[in-house]
Amino acid sequence: MITTLSAQEERLIHALQLLGDKTRFRIFKLLASGHDMCVSEIAEDLGISVSAVSQHFRNFEMLGLVSKERMGQRICYELKSDDAFVQELAKLTKEG
């Protein structure tokens, strides 16, 4: 019987919980399309507020799924391309 989970299994559980939210799933899928996007672009694409998008990205950042870059007053995000775990999640969202 397995009593403890590995760090990778814990991360997977948290990522699946995170992506279980439809809005966060849609944001992740937009980023999985292969290019970085700014918060305002995502808000416009999804028809939600900039502050709501920013809040969702805090969750992505806590799990280490995204990296961000400030471009003037804009904050843009992309999936971490050097993280195999993130790339596997992105691959799954593209297949669906």
**CATH tag, 8-95:** 1.10.10.10
* pTM as predicted: 0.89
Q: DSSP letter at 2?
A: -
Strand order in the sheet with 74-79: 37-38, 74-79, 66-71
pLDDT at 34: 81
Render pLDDT for 22-75 as a digit per residue (tens, 0 to 9).
Answer: 999 999 999 999 888 999 999 999 999 999 999 999 999 999 999 999 999 999
Q: Which of 85, 94, 74, 83 is nearest to 14 (CA)?
A: 85
Q: Which of 46, 11, 43, 41 is nearest to 26 (CA)?
A: 46
pLDDT at 1: 66
Read off the pLDDT band of 2 (50, 70, 90).
low
pLDDT at 24: 97
Q: From CA 70, how far away is CA 37, in angstroms rounded? A: 11
Q: CB count, 10 Å around CB of 56? A: 21
Token readout for 18 is 């995170």
